[in-house]
């Protein structure tokens, strides 16, 4: 195989191809769940679980991932193909992430942390559906919470024609304000400016 003369192998080389991020982008990471991020999670019927070697789709009725407190999320492991790829990963390396999506909403919510698996009967019972219990529950200790802008979903056209934002789902401006603890961020103003510019920044 011919060596790629344009291969990037250092951070300095990589950074040379990109602008520096806006300070607000680096400050928008929270270390716990707030009311607005909880509202987003409660509205989400679909999330992608990332582990050290695999990604796995997870879905159920909105709010299927529950917060036990402001730094702990509980994800029921429903019936699947029994390969247990993600669960085996967590036994080797607890690093885990969740990417939450809400139909019709361009922004996504990203959670990074570490996870453990429990078969606690009471916790499993909390997630019973029609008498069926999840085999186990994944408990994720939250380390980072942040909203991701809508560019990827807009470029992909994932939701097709624009849909009305579901009631109760916080705006990107509200999520940013919460993560930065309101530091110089007016949610309404941020959202207005964000919606005005985002379609011009897709490429």
Over the stretch 136-172, which tens digit does the pLDDT of each residue have?
999 999 999 999 888 899 888 888 766 667 888 888 7
What pLDDT does 65 receive?
98
Residue 135: closest CA among 201, 86, 78: 78
Q: Bigger pLDDT: 173 or 33?
A: 33
**CA 136 to centroid of chain Cα atoms:** 21
Band of pLDDT at residue 56, cut at 50, 70 and 90: very high
- For the chain, list the domains and their CATH numbers: 24-198 (2.30.110.10)
What pLDDT does 170 receive?
87
The answer to whether residues 73 and 98 touch, using CB atoms and an 8 Å cutoff, is: yes
Read off the DSSP letter of residue 10. Answer: S
* Least confident window among 49-58, 107-116, 176-185: 176-185
Average pLDDT, integer, range 26-48: 92
Phi then psi for residue 6, to 5 deg, are -105, 10
**What tens digit of pLDDT does each residue of 4-13 get?**
999 999 999 9
**What tens digit of pLDDT does each residue of 172-200 get?**
788 888 887 656 778 788 778 777 777 77
Q: State how far the Cα of 173 lies from the Cα of 180, in Å rounded to an integer.
A: 11
Q: Rounded to two decimals, what is the model's pTM?
A: 0.85
């Amino acid at each position: 195989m011919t060596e790629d003369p344009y291969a990037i192998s250092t951070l300095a080389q990589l950074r040379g191809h990109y602008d520096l991020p806006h300070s607000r982008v680096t400050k928008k990471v929270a270390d716990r769940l707030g009311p607005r991020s909880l509202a987003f999670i409660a509205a989400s019927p679909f999330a992608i679980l990332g582990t050290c070697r695999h990604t796995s789709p997870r879905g159920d009725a909105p709010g299927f991932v529950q917060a036990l407190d402001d730094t702990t999320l509980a994800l029921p492991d429903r019936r699947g193909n029994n390969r247990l790829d993600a669960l085996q990963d967590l036994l080797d390396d607890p690093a885990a992430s969740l990417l939450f999506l809400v139909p019709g909403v361009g922004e996504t919510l990203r959670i990074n942390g570490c996870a453990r698996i429990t078969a606690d009967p009471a916790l499993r019972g909390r997630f019973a559906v029609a008498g069926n219990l999840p085999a186990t529950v994944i408990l994720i200790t939250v380390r980072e919470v942040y909203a991701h802008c809508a560019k990827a979903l807009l470029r992909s056209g994932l939701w097709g024609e624009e849909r009305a934002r579901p009631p109760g789902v916080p705006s990107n401006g509200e999520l940013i304000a919460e993560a930065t603890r309101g530091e110089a961020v007016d949610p309404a103003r941020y959202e207005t400016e964000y919606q005005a510019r985002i379609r011009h920044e897709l490429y």
